[in-house]
């Protein structure tokens, strides 16, 4: 009997130490390039999910080793916002929890900012977007953030079984009035032909200057 109790206690301790793994959702950011203004991309992985107050641990990872690069000129209110497309009837609260953006090595960059409030739909049902929480990487303080490779979320969904997830959206919102503050980059972007042409001009000018200086010394 004592051996049986000891075995059960050992199993109980082992189960309590089982790690909780996050569900990974791959997000395709699309082709690499520099962008001005907002950009929204779709993702799936939570479709047909009903809200019953469950806790979720999610890793939103940009596929193809993609990343979001912010510039010194990018608006400090740049917002990275994961959202769920939802359909249902009645009133539903926003999810709550915590999370962070991470770099290529998985190191945290910026913490989540949770939004309160709720959404009330028509009695017959209505489609809308439900925020999972927003990230403001340029307001996090410290050094300028490195490239963003994804986001981790630990959230508790609302208890509202009349609502179902139909899809997902990831919004990239610079939210600035000046065009040059609305710029960001997705993935590696090679130097354009214009940049190479300017570099060539600079090299030619340096050689011309050197030749002129040599002539001056010889006179």
Give residue-wise pLDDT tens across range 145-167.
789 999 999 999 999 999 999 99
User: Is 200 a residue whose pLDDT tops 50?
Assistant: no
| Residue 96 CB partners (closer than 8 Å, separation 6+) | 114, 155, 156
Global confidence as pTM: 0.76
Q: Which of 5-9, 85-89, 115-119 has the lowest mean pLDDT?
A: 5-9
Query: 162 with 91: CB under 8 angstroms?
Result: no
Q: Where are the alpha helices (DSSP H) in 49-191?
A: none
């Amino acid at each position: 009997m004592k051996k049986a109790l000891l075995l059960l206690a050992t199993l109980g301790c082992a189960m309590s130490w089982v790690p909780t793994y996050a569900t990974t959702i791959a997000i395709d950011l699309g082709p690499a390039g520099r962008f001005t203004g907002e950009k929204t991309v779709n993702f799936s992985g939570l479709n047909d999910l009903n809200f019953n107050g469950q806790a979720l641990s999610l890793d939103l990872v940009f596929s193809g080793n993609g990343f979001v690069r912010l510039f010194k000129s990018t608006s400090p209110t740049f917002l990275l916002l994961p959202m769920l497309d939802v359909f249902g009837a009645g009133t539903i609260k926003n999810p709550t929890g915590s999370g962070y953006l991470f770099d290529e090595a998985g190191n945290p960059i910026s913490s989540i900012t949770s939004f309160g409030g709720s959404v009330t739909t028509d009695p017959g049902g209505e489609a809308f977007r439900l925020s999972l929480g927003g990230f403001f990487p340029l307001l996090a303080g410290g050094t300028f953030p490195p490239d963003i490779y994804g986001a981790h979320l630990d959230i508790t969904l609302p208890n509202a079984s009349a609502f179902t997830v139909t899809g997902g959206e990831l919004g990239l919102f610079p939210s600035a009035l000046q065009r040059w503050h609305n710029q960001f980059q997705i993935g590696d972007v090679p130097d354009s032909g214009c940049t190479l042409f300017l570099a060539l001009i600079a090299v030619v000018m340096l050689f011309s200057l050197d030749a002129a200086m040599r002539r001056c010394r010889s006179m």
